[in-house]
Amino acid sequence: MLDIKNLSVEFNDLNGRVKALTNINIHIEQGEIVGIVGESGSGKSVTALSILGLLDENAHISNGSIIYHDQNLLEMNVKDIQALRGKKIGMVFQEPMTALHPTMNIGQQLIEVIRQHKKVSKKEAYRLAIEALKDVHIHHPEKVAKQYPFELSGGMRQRVVIALAMSNPPELLIADEPTTALDVTIQSEILNLMKELNQKKSVSVLLITHDLGVVSQLCDRTIVMYAGQIVETGLTYDVLHFPKHPYTEALLNSLPDLKQQDQLLEAIPGEVPDLRYPPMGCPFHSRCKQAMTICREHDPKLDICEGNHYVACWLRRDEA
């Protein structure tokens, strides 16, 4: 369904160019859930925004293509991209309060989105809006449709945002950290909801998150990003249980083990490199306990390790 090939994105600022993405390759099949994980600044959201042409004006796509059903989205004009947004490709943004219009009630916002892509009357659009709210398990949808965003809880607002994205059922749903602002109980409900939509409507999902626990519950495949590059990718079980890249291992080691008491969590030393001045070699070498001379001099390419498990690490070249 979606095939991102060698995507590179740069941002111009007062101090020069920031290389936000470098040769990103991602494919998503029909009905598949793919997760992208990594620290803040790793390029997760930039990847998602690139797909729908929502990057800031100072962004420049220097290389690559984004193929959706044999169409290169990067070659489409603004009108054609707008026709895809919300109809074929939906998006759930990170903060539901800023994703919803504060002066329009929920019903008005749903009706506007539905009529943008379907030639239906307001009455029919309202009926579809109520159905969309029911699909995300909102009780008393007629009442919620008359309410404004500030009258709803965080979990309810996130359900409404998902309802907006699913009101014209898309083939691909991009969810950018949809559970970040929610407590654990509501987070679990939202994840179950997304899984249900995936199974009932065969919607493919690209999930952007920093939470490996979320990935383990929801995703078929996992992509680990660091400093604008993909450093490891494979089936979720393989990546989480048999990590090959030191960065993935470090992320997993920083998680608490509920079976152990009085444990010390392992923090990753150092900081993500400044992408205005990207380092030579592997971008993780300055924080890696296993770094070798070659890691500081040459950037490893993403290569197959075993099966469908890929890793960009000099330590694993002998295992390929």
pLDDT digits (tens, 9 = 90+) for 125-160: 999 999 999 988 899 999 999 999 999 988 889 889
The number of C-alpha atoms within 13 Å of 205 and in the hemisphere containing its C-beta is: 30
pLDDT of residue 319: 52
109 Cβ contact partners less than 8 Å away, ≥ 6 residues apart: 100, 101, 160, 164
First vs last Cα of the chain: how many Å apart? 28
Residue among 290, 225, 140 at smallest CA distance from 159 = 140
Residue among 203, 211, 187 at smallest CA distance from 39 = 211
Q: How does residue 17 score in pLDDT terms, banded at 50, 70 and 90?
A: confident
Digit-coded pLDDT (tens) for 176-220: 988 776 777 777 888 888 888 888 888 999 999 988 888 998 999
Angle between helices 106-117 and 122-135 (to 10 degrees): 110
172 forms bridges with which residues in the sheet?
89, 204
Pairwise CA distance, residues 231 & 311, whole Å = 6
Q: Pairing state of beta strands 89-92 and 172-176?
A: parallel
Above pLDDT 90, what percent of the chain? 58
Q: Which residues of 37-47 are buried (b: 16+ CB within 10 A; e: fewer)?
A: bbeebbbbbbb
Pairwise CA distance, residues 230 & 164, whole Å = 30
Within 10 angstroms of residue 23's Cβ, the number of other Cβ atoms is 16
Contact 89, 51 (CB under 8 A): yes
Digit-coded pLDDT (tens) for 247-306: 999 999 888 777 777 777 788 888 888 888 888 999 999 999 999 999 999 999 998 777
pLDDT of residue 181: 66
User: What pTM, to 2 d.p., does this model score?
Assistant: 0.89
Read off the amino acid at residue 57.
E
